[in-house]
Amino acid sequence: MIPAQFDYLAPTSVEDALAALAEHGDEAKIIAGGQSLLPVLRMRLNAPEMVIDLGKIESLRGVRDDGDAIVVGAMTTHHDVRTSDLVREHAAIITHAVSELADEQIRHRGTFGGALAHADPAGDMGAPALALGAVFTIAGSGGTRTVPASEFFVGLFETAIGEDEILTEIRIPKHTGWGAHYEKFVRIKHQWPIVAVAATVRVDDGTITEARVGLTNMGNTPLRATAVEEALVGAAATEDGVREAAAKAAEGTNPPSDLNGDSDYRKHLAGVLTRRAVLKAAGG
């Protein structure tokens, strides 16, 4: 599998990367970890003339504490996110989800920002980022702007990142002490999820006081199950307590049909998996 010929740039700063992007415009494609772009190039489904590699921009790597939030650099690998104590302590749902993402080789290559910017609705990072209300920092020629997760995912493989812009970091409000669980449904282990549910909850004395629930692969974008979140508040952290709320998971969704399952089966799964995810997140 040989890609079509392309030129390659590896700038060492965001400014240089933006300049390269401005210069090459439509002909350029940005590469982060390459775990989705390279197969596309090798299968010749896309043939950009210029590939701009962000891998040499050190400032885009790493996780830092920033008061009421943690900030993850867009080029931080999944492996580094997975092993980050800051993420584990303040955004445990991301640790859970990234631990289930693909396999160890891919986690060492693929990046947090790359996966989010690629916006594959079956990607594992979207639902947790959405559930936690992440804020995306996007750099462009005119400076940086921030976009809330609720506005970041626009459509299938489409985000709020403009053609001349680069995602630089993701700011995640701290959810310290929240229980978390990522319930991923696959047929074989290294598969993209057929459906997955990211749930993180605050439990006080056996009662759920706050809940955030994100859905993977239940539509063209990651989705937030707000109806479930609202219904969970005040619910007992028991099978019976969460059953009714979880049943709302598929409300308003339009999941795809493919060889792993029809749309209506995915809707059914979403309810079951949400119940399980919430219970496990609540320590039940």
| Site residues (CB under 8 A) for other proteins, limited to 175-194 | 185, 187-192, 194
21 near other proteins (CB under 8 A) = yes
- Selected binder of other proteins within 161, 208, 231, 279 (CB under 8 A): 161
Closest separation in Å from C-beta 203 to other proteins: 24
Two tokens, residue 108: 């060492």
Binding to other proteins by CB under 8 A, coded x per residue (else -) over 83-122, reads: ---------------------------xx-xxx-xxxx-x
146 near other proteins (CB under 8 A) = no
Residue nearer to other proteins on the CB measure, 92 or 135: 135
In sequence order, which residues have a C-beta less than 8 Å from that of residue 144 and are 6 or more positions away?
Answer: 137, 138, 168
In sequence order, which residues have a C-beta less than 8 Å from that of residue 72 and are 6 or more positions away?
Answer: 62, 63, 81, 84, 87, 112, 113, 169, 170, 172
8 near other proteins (CB under 8 A) = no
Looking up tokens 């290294």 gives 190
- Selected binder of other proteins within 9, 18, 32, 232 (CB under 8 A): 32
SS3 for 269?
Answer: helix
- Selected binder of other proteins within 28, 93, 101, 225 (CB under 8 A): 28
Two tokens, residue 169: 């970091």
149 near other proteins (CB under 8 A) = no
Q: Is 109 exposed, middle or buried (0-12, 13-18, 19+ CB in 10 A)?
A: middle
Two tokens, residue 19: 């300049």
Residue nearer to other proteins on the CB measure, 92 or 101: 101
| Site residues (CB under 8 A) for other proteins, limited to 221-250 | none
The rounded distance, in Å, linking the Cα atoms of 207 and 3 is 54
